[in-house]
């Protein structure tokens, strides 16, 4: 019925629409989006956080990456949508598929104007397709109970944790914009950029402390404009904005206020809701690279967040061991709820930083699996539990994966676990020359796996925000070349280290810590960088095949476990937790 309603709406438009794009996006091209813009999920039934649906007069398809192939296959079963395994050999791009389905380049392609970016439409145009956008939004017409715009409280982020005042950030940004060729100003639409620049945090999007807004930064000293739901600004937030010369206007006023301005720059991720943009005024964000390099105060905030998170993880792992030994019945949902409860007891905890991935056995092979009461598996005293989780604390953001033994393991489970651990250790101990990119470092995490005939389809590492979004760019560690991977890793950047292996239908393994890039020694061959491991939590050594570890790798594990013990023991009040941590950080024999 939903698909039929969309096709009727497409036929009624003038000109009639041949293909309608429904991305996983909002007007700000966010990864996590408010319910109002979850149109793709509403239409297709696919709940993954990444994907693009395309509907033509008689066909429908959905593209998603390898993290979600198994999930999408299950959730799209029985629907009219064809799964397109994005990145797999032979799978056409959306624009190529549209051209093939519509038998020519005169096809009219459209989508919600506030969800399709200029970057996306340029790809369609370059493929010879006619892209047409109007103020009409199909989902306003066919989604009768479409949610409204969220409006959570907007409050200040402590500037002692930010390390730099909002006034100084705005002044620096205005200078950088002027140097980049913005004669009047720039309209920021990335929610992380806006929250970071203003040292404000919000509650509009689940898992991410951001708020829906546009921010116009003037390069002429005429005052800046914040377009948001002003009624939800705290008194402290209002005072901060006033002190920085930022005037507040309604969120909906951004389009009309920018109309006719020919001296304003926009990000390439700006959407077609701004119909008047000349693409020559699309400029890369000058803030994203600044935000990626953490101030010393932000680095210390991360360290404190990791201590709090480490306490919760130790409490959880000890509890789980006791439950399994007692023969208790535990489901994947129980795991999620218990860990979230323990995190919530920590100072400054606000919410999880993403939906907890608790995948037991075969569910561990679904890279971004999320258990529900209907799908949750019951843990048995065998196989592995893949547990990927994190927290938003007032001082920082955490993201950690531990794969835990639930009982006796097969030889392959032990071998794969050990190989993943070897890759994880290799990347974390890597030293590298200044100017090195993530694509150059990726091999460190994969070498042991490749030599044994294993691999994984997702990236090895992503940036992490400072009490902001858990997935942050522009830098990454991954094997396939993308524009964002050409940015060198710089002193002060955070990045995850998360190799894995997923054996479909049987089990999955992933081990993840957050790393901080630090400047190391300078030699005759230049300046070198290294990683500081921020995450504080023991590895589960029960699945390890010690025969596959070198003496150096065992020593590396021992050093890390000693640091975990040093930092977490003083924070554990429960004697049972202290004994558990001591036992699980005992040094490995090096012979």
For residue range 181-210, list pLDDT tens digits in order: 888 999 999 999 999 999 999 999 999 999
* Domain formed by 155-291, architecture: 3-Layer(aba) Sandwich (3.40)
Residue 452: how many other CB atoms lie within 10 Å: 15
Task: Name the pTM for this structure.
Answer: 0.93
| pLDDT for the residue 104 | 61
Nearest to 332 by CA among 288, 289, 378: 378
315: tokens are 């409490």
Geometric angle at alpha carbon 395, from 307 and 428, rounded to 5°: 50
User: Which residues lie below 8 Å from residue 557, measured CB to CB, with a gap of 6+?
Assistant: 425, 539, 541, 549, 588
d(CA 275, CA 134): 9
Residue 576 DSSP label: H
d(CA 204, CA 425): 37
Residue 550: how many other CB atoms lie within 10 Å: 11
Nearest to 504 by CA among 548, 454, 541, 448: 454
Element (H, E) at 526: strand 526-533
d(CA 114, CA 193): 19
Identify each DSSP E strand in 120-212 by its residue range. 130-131, 155-156, 185-188, 200-201
Q: Please give the C-alpha separations between residue 176 and each of 179, 208, 281, 388, 481, in angstroms, as whole numbers.
A: 5, 27, 15, 38, 28
> For the domain bounded by 2-142, which CATH number is listed?
3.40.350.10
Cβ–Cβ < 8 Å for 331, 375: no
Delimiting residues of CATH 3.40.350.10 domain(s) in the chain? 2-142, 155-291
Geometric angle at alpha carbon 67, from 405 and 84, rounded to 5°: 145
Residue 323: how many other CB atoms lie within 10 Å: 16
d(CA 405, CA 381): 9
Cβ–Cβ < 8 Å for 493, 475: yes
Cβ–Cβ < 8 Å for 72, 83: yes
Each as own residue / partner, the long-range contacts of residues 252-260 (CB below 8 Å, 24 or more positions apart, any chain) are 252/227, 253/227, 254/187, 254/214, 254/216, 254/227, 257/216, 257/225, 257/227, 258/187, 258/216
pLDDT (tens digit per residue) in 323-382:
999 999 999 999 999 999 999 999 999 999 999 999 999 999 999 899 999 999 999 999
Q: SS3 helix, strand, coil % of the chain, rounded to 5?
A: 40, 25, 40
Nearest to 502 by CA among 318, 400, 357: 357
Between strands 19-23 and 108-110, the pairing is: parallel
In tens digits, what is the pLDDT along the chain, a chain of 591 residues? 899 999 999 999 988 999 999 999 999 999 899 999 999 999 999 998 889 999 999 999 999 988 889 889 999 999 999 999 998 889 999 999 998 888 765 788 899 989 988 888 888 888 888 888 877 899 999 999 999 999 999 999 999 999 999 999 999 999 999 999 888 999 999 999 999 999 999 999 999 999 999 999 999 888 999 999 999 999 999 999 999 999 999 999 999 999 888 899 999 889 988 887 888 889 988 999 999 999 999 999 999 999 999 999 999 999 999 999 999 999 999 999 999 999 999 999 999 999 999 999 999 999 989 999 999 999 999 999 999 999 999 999 999 999 999 999 999 999 999 999 999 999 999 999 999 999 999 999 999 999 999 999 999 999 999 999 999 989 999 998 765 578 899 999 999 999 999 999 999 999 999 999 999 999 999 999 999 999 999 999 999 999 999 999 999 999 999 999 999 999 999 999 999 999 999 999 998
249: tokens are 């206007």
Tokens 């680095």 locate to 299
CA 216 to chain centre: 25
What angle do the packed helices 118-126 and 94-102 form, to 10 degrees? Answer: 50
d(CA 316, CA 344): 12
Each as own residue / partner, the long-range contacts of residues 328-334 (CB below 8 Å, 24 or more positions apart, any chain) are 329/378, 330/378, 330/379, 331/371, 331/376, 331/377, 331/378, 331/379, 332/358, 332/359, 332/360, 332/363, 332/371, 332/376, 332/377, 332/379, 333/358, 333/371, 333/372, 333/373, 333/376, 334/376
Domain 293-583 has CATH 3.90.230.10: yes
| pLDDT for the residue 425 | 98
Residue 74: how many other CB atoms lie within 10 Å: 11
User: Which residues lie below 8 Å from residue 534, measured CB to CB, with a gap of 6+?
Assistant: 302, 303, 306, 494, 513, 514, 515, 516
- φ and ψ at 138, to 5 degrees? -55, -35
């Amino acid at each position: 019925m939903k698909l039929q309603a969309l096709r009727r709406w497409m036929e009624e438009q003038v000109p009639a629409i041949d293909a309608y794009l429904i991305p996983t996006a909002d007007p700000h091209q966010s990864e996590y989006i408010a319910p109002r813009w979850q149109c793709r999920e509403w239409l297709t039934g696919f709940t993954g956080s990444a994907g693009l649906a395309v509907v033509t007069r008689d066909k429908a398809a959905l593209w998603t990456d390898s993290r979600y192939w198994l999930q999408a296959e299950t959730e799209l079963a029985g629907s009219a949508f064809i799964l397109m395994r994005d990145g797999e050999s032979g799978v056409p791009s959306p624009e190529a598929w549209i051209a093939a389905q519509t038998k020519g380049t005169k096809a009219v392609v459209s989508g919600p104007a506030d969800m399709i970016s200029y970057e996306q439409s340029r790809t369609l145009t370059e493929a010879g397709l006619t892209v047409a956008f109007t103020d009409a939004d199909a989902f306003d017409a066919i989604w009768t109970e479409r949610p409204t715009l969220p409006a959570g409280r907007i409050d200040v982020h402590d500037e002692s944790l930010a390390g730099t005042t909002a006034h100084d950030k705005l002044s620096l940004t205005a200078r950088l914009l002027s140097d980049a060729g913005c004669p009047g100003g720039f309209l920021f639409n990335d929610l992380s950029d806006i929250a970071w620049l203003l040292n404000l945090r919000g509650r509009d999007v689940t898992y991410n402390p951001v708020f829906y807004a546009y921010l116009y930064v003037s390069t002429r000293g005429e005052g800046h404009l914040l377009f948001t739901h002003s009624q939800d600004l705290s008194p402290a937030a209002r005072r901060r904005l006033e002190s920085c010369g930022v005037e507040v206007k309604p969120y909906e006023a951004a389009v009309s206020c920018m109309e006719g301005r020919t001296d304003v720059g926009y990000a390439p991720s700006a959407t077609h809701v701004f119909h008047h943009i000349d693409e020559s005024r699309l400029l890369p964000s000058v803030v994203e690279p600044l935000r990626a390099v953490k101030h010393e105060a932000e680095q210390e905030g991360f360290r404190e967040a990791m201590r709090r998170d480490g306490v919760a993880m130790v409490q959880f792992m000890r509890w789980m061991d006791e439950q399994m030994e007692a023969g208790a019945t535990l489901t994947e949902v129980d795991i999620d709820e218990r860990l979230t409860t323990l995190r919530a007891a920590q100072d400054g905890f606000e919410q999880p930083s993403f939906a907890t991935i608790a995948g037991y056995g075969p569910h561990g092979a679904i890279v971004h699996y999320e258990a529900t009461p209907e799908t949750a598996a019951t843990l048995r005293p065998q196989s592995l539990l893949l547990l990927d989780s994190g927290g938003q604390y007032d001082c920082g953001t955490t993201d950690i994966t531990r794969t835990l033994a639930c009982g006796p393991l097969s030889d392959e489970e032990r071998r794969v676990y050990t190989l993943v651990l070897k890759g994880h250790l290799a990347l974390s101990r890597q030293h590298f020359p200044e100017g090195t990119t993530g694509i150059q470092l990726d091999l460190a995490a994969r070498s042991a796996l490749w030599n044994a005939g294993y691999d994984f389809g997702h990236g090895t590492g992503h940036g992490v925000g400072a009490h902001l979004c858990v997935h942050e760019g522009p830098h990454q560690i991954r094997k396939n070349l993308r524009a964002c991977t050409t940015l060198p890793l710089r002193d002060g950047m955070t990045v995850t280290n998360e190799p894995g292996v997923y054996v479909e239908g049987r089990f999955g393994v992933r081990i993840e810590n957050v790393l901080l890039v630090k400047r190391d020694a300078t030699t005759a061959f230049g300046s070198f960088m290294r990683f500081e491991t921020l995450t504080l939590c023991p590895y589960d050594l029960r699945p390890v095949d010690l025969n596959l570890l070198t003496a150096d790798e065992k020593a590396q594990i021992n050093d890390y476990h000693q640091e975990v013990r040093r930092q977490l023991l003083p924070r554990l009040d429960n004697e049972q937790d202290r004994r558990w941590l001591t036992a699980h950080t005992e040094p490995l024999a090096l012979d």
